Amino acid sequence: MAWLYLRLKARLIRNRLRNAGGWATLAFIGIWSLAFGVGSVMGLLGGVVARLVGGQGTAALFSLAGIAWLVGPVAAAALDETIEPRRLELLPITPTQMSWGLLAASFFGPGALVTILFVVGVMVGSSPDWLSLIPTLGAGIAFVVWCIASARWVTTLLTDLLRSRAGRDIAVVGAAILGGGSAFASTFLSNGSGDPMPALAAFGRVSVYLPPGALGRSLGLLADGEWGVGLALLVYGLAAIALVMLGWQRSLFRLSTRAPGRVSEAVARGGHSPLVPRLLSGWPAPQAATAGKELRYLRRDPRFRSQAVGLAVALAFLGLGAGRMLFGTEYSPFLAVIVAWMAASTTGFNQFGFDDRSFWSYLVTGVELRSVLVGKNLAVALVGLPVLALVAVVASVLVGDARHLGSAILSGAAILAVWLAVGNVVSVLGAYPLPESNLFGSRNVSGSALFASLGGLLAAGFLSLPIAAFVVVPLLIWGTWQGLSGAGVAVVIGLLIHRLSLRVAGSLLESRALRLLEVLDKPPV
Amino acid sequence: MTVAAVLYNGLTKKFGSKVAVDELVAEIPAGSFFGICGPNGAGKTTLLRMTCGLLQPDAGRVEVAGHDVWADPVAAKSRLGMVPDSPSMFTRLTGRELVEFTGLLRGMNPEVVQERGSNLLRLLDLEEAAETLVADYSLGMSKKVAIACALLHNPRVLFLDEPFAGIDPVARQVLEETLKRFTAAGGTVAFSDHSMDVVERLCDRLLIIDEGKVVLAGTTAEITRGRRLQEVFVEAVGGSSTEGVDITWLGSTSG
């Protein structure tokens, strides 16, 4: 049965690649190569830590990897949809057969490859000689099984939640917070004593009571020839795996005999308020409506929400990292420029990708598509400008120097205009679908979209140079007021570039609208 | 003399070597309840997408209310409404917001949009769910809100691709009544559906296509001539048969 599942998974992947074309094959090779690379590096690091810290270190590493396997797939809503249990529920397969089959199939994946390479590294690092490797094999294999089985059990338990709108919202925000949190933790760890090994050993002493930690400790002990405790911990780990498998089988049974989870009815808070913000009441209806719709989406769509959380995390990082160069100086309000760049670049280069398969709605109304672009830009400006101004004000209050506040806000506005301008053209030339169900990067990026994005980045960077020059040169050579005047000129240049981009992107849109529809209307692969 | 709501003249669309619509010539009279039928892959959806300006034909013309869809798209699109078979909509808007958005996108006056939107949501029994996100709508509710969006600007012709698929009898009843009211007031409904019973009951005129070509066209009475539409349809497009296939094992107790 396990062999059948493995073949099924391989066949499904092959057919999917065949239908998706050459770029998908390249991406597939890329992902597997990346997994191999990451796994090799992790294996090397694991080996070094195991050698330096010993069994406690192995326990700590295995516990951390075990946690990553539990949290990662849930946070990424990474249901293995190649072999979906619900599609097999009508076949005469018992939950036991299904769980072992799914387990075997899960070994065929980039995550499993990384884990196997990591475990091999730890095994080599823990063993004083090649002969000692043999007794560690059992604990190593058991650990990989534990990781996959526990992750699959948890995702099976949460299948309905992860498929629901609310679940995806939770997952996306959770993932961003988790990513930011772990990066912060590692930053603080390296900023402390400089030697994380004692902390790892202490964590290893505690985590040995958990199954992955026990398997890690067991591996270390067996490598050192301490058979008694080593085998006892291995048996404990195997018993835990048996329990997880039982739990998973029960969850699979429940999943196949229960009605799919009902999506909770979500009512927009605060009842009905007009779609168009009062601020835009004088604008042409299609532009104002699009801006209103985009602002609603900024609040409600997990794709935008994840980018907002990512933006906040990145800003916090900048505050601690690169921002340190600016903090404490009178130039700190210029952090606003970074906010502007982020606000424009996060959504700006694939503006229609977020509309995904709803793009037809614009075409069937006969609306001038340039208006839609204007509306989208308006929404970004309505959010981006106050945020960048706020950051600039807060930064100047913190340093107690508001000399460059005006220049910073104007520079931010100019950069926002330039990046939005480039984004408008790239959004037409390099659109790709970004469906809600595929939050962590689209698998549908075509080669032309990739080149358009890269070209856009270069163009936006190039166009930002004169903007920067108009602000920086007078500011550094002559002083505050001249810098402010230069920033004013930069805004005018930014607006002119933006205006030009709307004309170019607008005419491109009209001629390429059906091509865009074809690209965006593709069901996700 | 009947005025044509939609006129097809030599409409052709190929996908590679496959001809989806082949030099189609047909007319949908104004005020009619028009059924477009055909087996799977006959070219119905391709035809509707070309009619609504979502797919460029390789040759031929489509006119909606006297305006060429490809030469004068804005005028043509302002006179048509469309509901695709599985409408992908802006699901993070509420039902009311979606209707409002569509109206404003068409450049309608905001007050008119509000008033007509409320009327349509009430008519289609969506008033209670008006503040619910479309993402949380059932299939029937999604189709109804898509119809509200398509009717908001009071089009001359409404195109629907399998509007009754997957919706419950109550929602179906509401939809049927709404569409009948629309045609009674002078509007034209053109829809495709696989249920011959529904088509026969609702439509006064029919177009049966197969492999992109017109097989039968005319009034429902002319086409059926007292027979059931299902029989006429199968006869026209050529039904498949189980002859020559050994299925004697099917239903036997030998396993």
Averaged pLDDT for residues A412-429? 92
Confidence of residue A440 (pLDDT cuts 50, 70, 90): very low
Average pLDDT over chain B reads: 90
Q: Is A296 on the interface with B (CB under 8 A)?
A: yes
pTM exceeds cut of 0.80: no
Per cent of chain A over pLDDT 90 is 23
pLDDT, position A181:
62
Higher pLDDT, A495 or A69: A495
Residue B88 has its nearest CB partner, among A271, A358, A372, at: A358
pLDDT, position A97:
84
Residue A265 has its nearest CB partner, among B76, B77, B132, at: B132
Closest approach of chain A CAs to the CA of B87, in angstroms?
Answer: 8
Residue of B nearest to A296 (CA): B93
Per-residue pLDDT at A442 exceeds 60: no
Averaged pLDDT for residues B44-70? 92
Per-residue pLDDT at A458 exceeds 50: yes
Measured CA to CA, the distance from residue B63 to residue B28 in angstroms comes to: 10
Q: Which of B50, B54, B64, B109 to mutate to test the interface with A (most CBs of A within 10 A)?
A: B54
Per-residue pLDDT at A264 exceeds 50: no
* Locus of tokens 């409506």: A289
Length of chain A (residues)? 525
**Contacting A residues, span 345-364, partner chain B, CB-CB under 8 Å:** 355-358, 360-364
B17 token code pair: 């070597």
A497-511 pLDDT, tens digit per residue, is: 999 999 999 999 999
- List CB contacts (< 8 A) between A361 and chain B: 89-90, 102, 105, 149
pLDDT, position A441:
44
Residue B107 has its nearest CB partner, among A285, A301, A362, at: A285
Q: Is A512 on the interface with B (CB under 8 A)?
A: no
Residue of B nearest to A372 (CA): B105
pLDDT, position A104:
87
Residue closest to A295 by CA, chosen among B90, B117, B137, B103: B90
- Please, are residues A204 and A107 in contact by the beta-carbon 8 Å criterion? no
Average pLDDT over chain A reads: 80
Per-residue pLDDT at A457 exceeds 80: yes
Residue of A nearest to B129 (CA): A267
Is there a contact between A367 and B88 if contact means CB atoms under 8 Å apart? Answer: no
Measured CA to CA, the distance from residue A122 to residue A40 in angstroms comes to: 11
A13-43 pLDDT, tens digit per residue, is: 777 676 666 666 777 777 788 888 888 888 8
pLDDT, position A166:
64
Contact partners, residue A350, CB within 8 Å, separation at least 6: A426, A427, A430, A431, A432, A434, A449, A453
Q: Collapsing DSSP states into helix, strand and coil, what is residue A373? A: helix
Averaged pLDDT for residues A41-66? 82
Is there a contact between B100 and A358 if contact means CB atoms under 8 Å apart? Answer: no
Measured CA to CA, the distance from residue A196 to residue A334 in angstroms comes to: 35
Is there a contact between A165 and B93 if contact means CB atoms under 8 Å apart? Answer: no
Averaged pLDDT for residues A259-282? 66
Measure Cα distances from A260 to A161, A164, A205, A518 in Å: 10, 10, 42, 32
Q: Is A513 on the interface with B (CB under 8 A)?
A: no
* Locus of tokens 């170019």: A504
Is there a contact between B74 and A366 if contact means CB atoms under 8 Å apart? Answer: yes
**Burial readout A55-83 (b: 16 or more C-beta within 10 A, e: otherwise):** bbbbbbbbbbbbebbbbebbbbbbbbebb
Is there a contact between B54 and A363 if contact means CB atoms under 8 Å apart? Answer: yes
Residue closest to A69 by CA, chosen among A104, A109, A105, A32: A109
Per-residue pLDDT at A344 exceeds 50: yes
Averaged pLDDT for residues A330-348? 80
- List CB contacts (< 8 A) between A301 and chain B: 92
A20 token code pair: 């998706």
- Strand ranges across the sheet with B4-15: B18-29, B4-15, B59-64, B67-68
Q: Collapsing DSSP states into helix, strand and coil, what is residue A338? A: helix
Count CB pairs under 8 A between chains A and B: 108
Averaged pLDDT for residues A222-238? 89
Among A330-334, A362-366, A459-463, whose mean pLDDT is lowest?
A330-334
Averaged pLDDT for residues B45-52? 92
CA atoms within 13 A on the CB side of B143: 21
- List CB contacts (< 8 A) between B77 and chain A: 364-366
* Locus of tokens 């080593």: A230
B10 token code pair: 């030599």
| ipTM reported for the complex surpasses 0.85 | yes
Confidence of residue A271 (pLDDT cuts 50, 70, 90): low
